[in-house]
Amino acid sequence: MNIEMALKGKQNYKILIIDDETKICEILRDILENEGYSADFATNGTDGLRKIQKDKIDLVLLDVKLPDTDGLSLLKRIKDFDPDISVVMISAFGTVSTAVEALKNGAEDFIEKPLEINRILITIKNALEKIELKRQSTGLKSEMLKEYMVIGESEGIKKVLSLVEKAAPTNSTILILGETGTGKDLIAHNIHLRSQRAGKPFVKVNCAALPGELIESELFGYEKGAFTGAFRRKIGQFEFADKGTLFLNEIGDMGLSTQAKVLSAIEDKEIVRLGGTERIKIDVRIIAATNQNLLKLIKEKKFREDLYHRLNVLTIHIPPLRERLEDIPLLAEHFLTNACVENNRPIKILTKKASQFLKQYHWPGNVRELKYLMEKLAILTTRIELDVNDVLPILEEIKKDSGIQYNIDIAKEELEKSYIISALQEANGHMGKAAKILGIDRSTLFRKIKKLGIKI
């Protein structure tokens, strides 16, 4: 829905007139209602504020002179109550200083009496367009945050989200650390979407994916003729990210010469395109991320210490999935449900045993690996309720596809061990009862206890 279409439903906007002249209030109300708006009025500040607190008011036409208060004081109280309410000041005693103070305190506009109806209607239309634009922006931001939602209830992830909330509204440079697949990209998006730059570009550069000779031209751009093959000017990612956020992912893989130029760009807030001389001003927030130990790289002379300190204003450590055991069932359910919906499959669920098995597994690929597993389960399995026997073959398949060494046998042993211990506890140590609970005979149970090193 665009702004013009939204404003066709004018009855959805509630306008309140606060003026001590009843006749003016009645005339304005009638005109506004004739235009399709919902309108009401109050003849003093006390009644006006009461109506604002009781009803959902979008815009207030507020007189500067009121019998019980002055309009500027009431303006501050309205904005304190709800900063999103648009206020247009009206006055027969307008002065430049009064108008400046009103605008400084959040008024949308200042109109002098006698009122011109066309001016009033145009001012209201412009103010409501801004309100609608803000609503649409807020709605879009909310949808984007859903897309980049961080799932988890573990202490580790709560700490990460707390830091995101504190850091997002600032312009501080942020360094995100974590193993591959932990969700560094997701956290960077969250910081951007919760910041004042949310409506501006979020530009991502994967430093590990670009060879050294290309990364500088990618970041800073180049002028025509800067090198062989430069047939035209190219704008770099720093310029594309102006007023927004530049996410330098896997910055530990960036070469030293590029690091020096990035440091200069951050400190000077300007860049020079390759082959150019013009110094271009930039307003960019930098978020960097890596799965490497930058302090180790500094000792090995592979990473600049000054750049590290410039990036490390605030550090967010994302814990690996194996340290977020309580989050695994939540993430698995979320990924499995989403994958079923996206691939037109019936919604599937994991049994308690399957969820327990996932918690026993080491997850070398972290959250990314879990998501991949759930997507394959959604597509490849036919049963609605998925058990351990459904999960294991898919994990084995992932192992073959990726070449990563998965410790599935250990995970199976740990799971089996926990089942046997639970059965023994339920049977109060009685071997026969425990064997019956597990569905095996006593001799098999004895062998397993010995093999798994379970102490009775």
- Same domain, yes or no: 425 and 343: yes
Domain for residue 24, yes or no? yes
- Same domain, yes or no: 381 and 419: yes
> Residue 146: its pLDDT value, please?
62
- Same domain, yes or no: 12 and 112: yes
Conformational region of residue 211, where left means phi above 0, alpha means psi within -120 to 50, and beta covers everything else: beta
- Same domain, yes or no: 121 and 203: no
> Residue 404: its pLDDT value, please?
47
Domain for residue 286, yes or no? yes
- Same domain, yes or no: 330 and 296: no
Give yes or no for residue 246 having a pLDDT over 90: yes
Domain for residue 253, yes or no? yes
Averaged pLDDT for residues 79-96: 85
Give yes or no for residue 4 having a pLDDT over 60: no
Domain for residue 147, yes or no? no
- Same domain, yes or no: 96 and 53: yes
> Residue 145: its pLDDT value, please?
53
Using the 3D structure, point to which of 319, 349, 374 is the last residue of a domain: 319
> Residue 92: its pLDDT value, please?
78
> Residue 202: its pLDDT value, please?
93
The b/e string for 197-208 (b: 16+ C-beta within 10 A; e otherwise) is bbebbbbbbbbe
Specify whether the CB–CB gap between 111 and 88 falls below 8 A: yes
pLDDT above 90 covers what percent of the chain? 58
> Residue 383: its pLDDT value, please?
92
> Residue 176: its pLDDT value, please?
97
Domain for residue 149, yes or no? no
> Residue 411: its pLDDT value, please?
52
List the CATH number of the domain containing 82.
3.40.50.2300
What tens digit of pLDDT does each residue of 89-103 get?
988 776 777 788 888
- Same domain, yes or no: 303 and 239: yes
Weakest mean pLDDT among 119-128, 214-223, 377-386, 443-452: 443-452
| SS3 assignment, position 292 | coil
Number of domains the chain is built from: 3
DSSP 177-219: E--TTS-HHHHHHHHHHTSTTTTS-EEEEETTTS-HHHHHHHH
> Residue 2: its pLDDT value, please?
47
- Same domain, yes or no: 437 and 357: yes
Specify whether the CB–CB gap between 288 and 313 falls below 8 A: no
Weakest mean pLDDT among 73-87, 313-327, 339-353, 390-404: 390-404
One-letter amino acid at 124 equals I
pLDDT band at 3 (very low <50, low <70, confident <90, very high): very low
- Same domain, yes or no: 76 and 118: yes
pLDDT band at 164 (very low <50, low <70, confident <90, very high): very high
CB atoms near residue 266 (< 10 Å): 18
Q: What are phi and psi of 87, to 5 degrees?
A: -125, 125
Averaged pLDDT for residues 424-442: 79
> Residue 12: its pLDDT value, please?
75
Using the 3D structure, point to which of 89, 109, 140 is the last residue of a domain: 140
Q: How far apart, in whole angstroms, are the C-alpha atoms of residue 275 and residue 280?
A: 13
Range with top average pLDDT, 125-134, 143-152, 181-190, 394-403: 181-190
pLDDT above 70 covers what percent of the chain? 89
- Same domain, yes or no: 172 and 127: no
Using the 3D structure, point to which of 90, 115, 140 is the last residue of a domain: 140
pTM for this predicted structure: 0.63
> Residue 396: its pLDDT value, please?
78
List the CATH number of the domain containing 182.
3.40.50.300
List the CATH number of the domain containing 381.
1.10.8.60
Containing structural domain, residue 95: 3-140
> Residue 26: its pLDDT value, please?
93
> Residue 418: its pLDDT value, please?
65
- Same domain, yes or no: 443 and 413: yes
The widest CA-to-CA distance across the chain, in whole angstroms, is: 100
Prior bond of 346 cis (ω within 30°): no
Domain for residue 403, yes or no? yes
Domain for residue 332, yes or no? yes
- Same domain, yes or no: 16 and 161: no
Question: Pairing state of beta strands 314-317 and 349-350?
Answer: unpaired
> Residue 81: its pLDDT value, please?
92
Averaged pLDDT for residues 344-369: 91
Domain for residue 358, yes or no? yes
